[in-house]
Amino acid sequence: MIVECWQKKTYKTMADIKKTASYGEYVINIANDNSVEVLRNNTVCDNSKAALRDIAALVGFEVDAKWNTRQLGAKLVDFINEGVEVKPVAVKPDLNVNKTKTEIRANSQLVEIVRLDVCKFLENNDELLFNERDFQIHLATWLRKSDNAYDDVDVEYYVPNKELDNYIWESELRLDIVVKKGDEYCPVELKYKTKKVERKITRFDEMLSDDVVVMKNQGAQDLGMYDFWKDVRRVELVRNRFASVKGGLAVFLTNDEAYTKACRPTSNNNKLTMENGLHPKQKHWLKPETTCARTHRNFEVEKEYSIEWHDMEIDNVKFYYCCVVV
């Protein structure tokens, strides 16, 4: 059984949570009062115990029928994070999850905390952002003010290409945001692709007389998709190189619904699409003779990643976002 979850996205604050664990699209939060909150794709599940049973089946954890929700939640979090000895059952993990136990433990702390903060920013932001740099600075400022008290939030974090094995691009690697807490780092790569929006805006507390192009029409969705998967691959390479990087995030924000749709099987970017669901490791152009294929090299990511789109509205403009944990 896979439980359904509320469409309203709510979160406990990190100050209320004493321990947390994640597996695939699920997050388990144990509050200071020992109550249990389960989120699936950033959405609170209304039946926590049923959701906990689903997660237990995925990770091979045997559930005692006598346990209540709080007992099951606490034991399951310990099992995922710390490998507490329990009676395991031979359950094959869901292929859509694609995480080893090592990856679960590595990604269950800082990366998950940052992911929740990023989602909270996206859900709470009520300002139209001009461009990707505007997005980057607003998010970095939000993270710096987070109750999670990160030790550092840096932007344009430079990593020399020669430090990374199998880095195939000539472009410099400057990570959009890098969050540090303790001895761990979490890189966050951002993409912000827009369709044209005009609005009247204020400057220095004065309303300007003419409409202003707040967001430009960028188009080239095929290259936008390529760049997103390139971000995923770059975070993989950084994680593989540096022991203090346990994982990272690739975040995509857009008001262009085309990014959320599947392409035709004959489309040149068919293997680069970003619709809901699981995506193959190969990131190849279908037609090697095209300019896109000649100027943007084929590559592969290390595993099949799942994308889940969420939507919200800012100033009567509908936006879509996804956040992939690497």
Give the rounded percent of residues in the chain with a pLDDT score beyond 90: 61
Q: Is the pLDDT of residue 88 over 50?
A: no
Who has greater pLDDT, 88 or 316? Answer: 316
CA quadruple 86, 92, 93, 98: dihedral, nearest 10: 130
Per-residue pLDDT at 59: 82
DSSP string, 131-180: SHHHHHHHHHHHHHT-TT--SEEEEEEEE-GGGSTT----S-EEEEEEEE
- Kindly state the average pLDDT of the residues 102-119: 73
pTM of the model: 0.68
pLDDT tens, position by position, 265-300: 899 998 999 999 999 999 999 999 999 999 999 999
pLDDT tens, position by position, 151-209: 999 999 999 999 999 999 988 899 999 999 999 999 999 999 999 999 998 999 999 99
Which residues are CB-neighbours of 251 under 8 A, at least 6 positions away? 118, 188, 189, 190, 191, 321, 322, 323, 324
Q: Is the pLDDT of residue 38 over 80?
A: yes
Please give the Cα distance from 71 to 1 (Å, whole number). Answer: 21
Q: Is the pLDDT of residue 11 over 70?
A: no
Please give the Cα distance from 238 to 251 (Å, whole number). Answer: 16
Length of the chain counted residue by residue: 326
pLDDT band at 14 (very low <50, low <70, confident <90, very high): low
